[in-house]
Structure 1
């Protein structure tokens, strides 16, 4: 029978989750109890009310196996306990089996109060004791049936605890999935912010230059600048689409974005975020926008691994975009300094403002989980973005003669 099975009955419609073996065991249990109920009833010539109540208890047991709604399951359990209890003494304790099954059903059902099975068991014990006293049954008979009902309470409580633990595990898994989804969305939003900040900021500068060139009558130069602005806008749109579809792992969209990127000639104003390229493309892009930048150190970032290099590229791109927006035409310094087992990358420009990008910088470094840190704050008359990253020992050893 299913008294000791660990099947969770709350997964299928109506709170059922039954394996084929559980169905078979319950069907076998119903058949065995029904057989002996009929055989003993004929031999002992049970009165009509015993036949009726016994049939109700067995029918409720069968209903429990085929019930599809929580309310129907509770009704089946109550009927098994009530009808079975009244026939325990006349059937010489045979009908204690559906009583125990009903108590287990109530005790394991999370939709029923935890005390319901204990109250039902106590009521069953009282009814059996009274019936046994009327029929002059032995004390051992009452103790045996009482032990069976108490066993049902313990089994029901055990199964309830198992289901509670399983439900908590499922809830924890759902919370984890929800947290991962929110993290993915935050990452996509951060990428979109970075792309738009760079692309739109550069586009504004390019269009300003086009306007100035047209006013000066330099049509050819203005046409060249307009073409660069169009390429920058197309690249920014492709990057934004890629970030939007990242949550859905849309390979087809990525392929289209790559195709759109390859269809337009590469320009310095369109920096790639490929970690292998380091900071060179960003520096060239900033200069193509008319910005002034002084670099110091290894802008290829050869001492960092790919993940840290990519984070640095993204943060520097954001810092340069902020510099162009808030301090246009002012000089920017970019320093890459090896300090023992760490690399410090510092971007500084005259006074700049804050924004969502600063939060995105910190989030990028927090995701690395390596102790890498980034700080962005005012220092005297400059706005400084400082990064501190661990050296990739394998990469560093590869650069040694």
Structure 2
């Protein structure tokens, strides 16, 4: 029967998700009760009204199993309770079964008020008590049937709570999936922004230099600059493809763990005349640090003064990668908004922390600053980043915890 199968997760309109076992148990329940109703009715020669009302209760039970609308389900449950209650005494408590099933149905239905099943049970007890008085049934009979109805109320309430918990779990899972999707999209957006800001900004500077060199008649220097511009464009295209791939495929490389490991295009993607300029050392080192960014900034015609360990040896991989991306953005901002102005980069070890500061004359704002804070927030550590104006400079300051393993290895070496 329904109250015993536990396989009816929903009683919603438009069809219910139920297993073949649940359907089979309910059909068996209807058949068994109908068989004994007919058998006992013939033996006891029940009055005609009992046959009619009992048949209505069983028909409502069967309708409940095939109902497809909310109204049909609720009406079937109410009919089962009313008709079954009227025949409980006459059938020697056999028809208490559809009454209990109807109470469970109302109690488990999330679209019916939670008190509906309890009210229906009380009403059924009243009807049974009145019929028992008319038929001179014992008080024990009424109490026994009342206990069965109370059990139906408890089962219905339990199933309601189970469905509520299941709905909340599904909602939480959907929210978690949406949050993960938004986080992945935000991460890919930051990567694409960083690639475009760094690569395209540097490309513009290189092409400006090419134009100036050609106007000065320095064709060889212009050709060299054009080759560097092609290399920079190819690297930017490769990193943009990696970021798009990470957005479409969760199995792709995590930009947070290897942001500065450019995915190289194959040699076939580069013309023979420029293939020689595309070595594995161009712009991107094997280990993520600030050296390549400093070299690239200088190759773009920028002036930068470096103080401290640009290899970031005291930081772990995750913090080092975040610093590289933030410095990349800071240098790109400096080239866009303060082209030709001097930039300072400081890496200072202070006890168990490392401070990285990038300063350049007057700039700021933009999507990149938001990405800086997001990257550091994802680290889940005490690392912080601040980007603000200070006097006549725009300063990006990072404070990061020292990696104990890296620090020990550095001291040993």
Please give the TM-score of this superposition, normalised by the length of structure 2: 0.88
Per the alignment, residue 368 of structure 1 pairs with 379
Q: Is the 8 A contact 2:6 2:22 kept in 1?
A: no
Distance verdict in 2 for CA 1:40–1:275, change over 3 Å = farther
- 2:346 equivalent to 1:299: no
Structure 2 CA distance for aligned equivalents of residues 12 and 333 of structure 1 = 66
Per the alignment, residue 133 of structure 1 pairs with 133
Please report how far the alpha carbon of residue 122 of structure 1 lies from its aligned counterpart in structure 2 after TM superposition. Answer: 2.5
Q: Is the 8 A contact 2:345 2:358 kept in 1?
A: yes
Local SS of the residue matching 1:276: coil
Local SS of the residue matching 2:354: strand
Greater shift in the superposed pair: 64-73 or 381-390: 64-73
Structure 2 CA distance for aligned equivalents of residues 318 and 188 of structure 1 = 15
Per the alignment, residue 259 of structure 2 pairs with none
Decide which of 254, 260, 266 is 2:278's aligned counterpart. 266
Per the alignment, residue 288 of structure 1 pairs with 299
Distance verdict in 2 for CA 1:341–1:6, change over 3 Å = farther
Distance verdict in 2 for CA 1:323–1:268, change over 3 Å = farther
Greater shift in the superposed pair: 325-334 or 146-155: 146-155
Q: Is the 8 A contact 1:358 1:376 kept in 2?
A: yes
- 2:338 equivalent to 1:327: yes
Q: Is the 8 A contact 1:213 1:221 kept in 2?
A: yes
Distance verdict in 2 for CA 1:58–1:37, change over 3 Å = same
Per the alignment, residue 355 of structure 2 pairs with 344
Distance verdict in 2 for CA 1:107–1:250, change over 3 Å = closer
- 2:93 equivalent to 1:82: no
Structure 1 CA distance for aligned equivalents of residues 11 and 155 of structure 2 = 19
Per the alignment, residue 121 of structure 1 pairs with 121
RMSD: 2.7
Structure 1 CA distance for aligned equivalents of residues 213 and 128 of structure 2 = 103
Per the alignment, residue 395 of structure 1 pairs with 406
Structure 2 CA distance for aligned equivalents of residues 226 and 68 of structure 1 = 71
Provide, for residues 330-361 of structure 1, a one-character-per-residue CA deviation record: whole Å limited to 9, x for no partner.
Answer: 11111111111111111111222222211111
Please report how far the alpha carbon of residue 218 of structure 1 lies from its aligned counterpart in structure 2 after TM superposition. Answer: 2.0
Decide which of 371, 381, 393 is 1:382's aligned counterpart. 393
Structure 1 CA distance for aligned equivalents of residues 253 and 229 of structure 2 = 23
Local SS of the residue matching 2:132: helix
Structure 2 CA distance for aligned equivalents of residues 69 and 304 of structure 1 = 63
Q: Is the 8 A contact 1:82 1:124 kept in 2?
A: yes
Q: Is the 8 A contact 2:319 2:379 kept in 1?
A: yes
Structure 2 CA distance for aligned equivalents of residues 268 and 328 of structure 1 = 28
Per the alignment, residue 178 of structure 1 pairs with 178
Instruction: Please give the residue correspondences for 1:2-401 in structure 2 after superposition, counting only pairs within 5 Å.
Output: 2-4=2-4, 6-10=6-10, 14=14, 16-19=16-19, 21-249=21-249, 258=263, 260=265, 263-264=269-270, 265-266=277-278, 271-272=283-284, 276-399=287-410, 400-401=412-413
Provide, for residues 26-45 of structure 1, a one-character-per-residue CA deviation record: whole Å limited to 9, x for no partner.
Answer: 34433332232122101011
Greater shift in the superposed pair: 314-323 or 226-235: 226-235
Structure 2 CA distance for aligned equivalents of residues 275 and 51 of structure 1 = 87
Structure 2 CA distance for aligned equivalents of residues 268 and 330 of structure 1 = 30
Local SS of the residue matching 2:312: coil
Q: How many equivalent residue pairs?
A: 398
Provide, for residues 192-217 of structure 1, a one-character-per-residue CA deviation record: whole Å limited to 9, x for no partner.
Answer: 11111111211111121122112212
Greater shift in the superposed pair: 299-308 or 21-30: 21-30
Local SS of the residue matching 2:313: coil
Please report how far the alpha carbon of residue 184 of structure 1 lies from its aligned counterpart in structure 2 after TM superposition. Answer: 1.2
Please report how far the alpha carbon of residue 182 of structure 1 lies from its aligned counterpart in structure 2 after TM superposition. Answer: 1.1
Please report how far the alpha carbon of residue 234 of structure 1 lies from its aligned counterpart in structure 2 after TM superposition. Answer: 2.8
Please report how far the alpha carbon of residue 320 of structure 1 lies from its aligned counterpart in structure 2 after TM superposition. Answer: 0.4
Distance verdict in 2 for CA 1:235–1:165, change over 3 Å = same
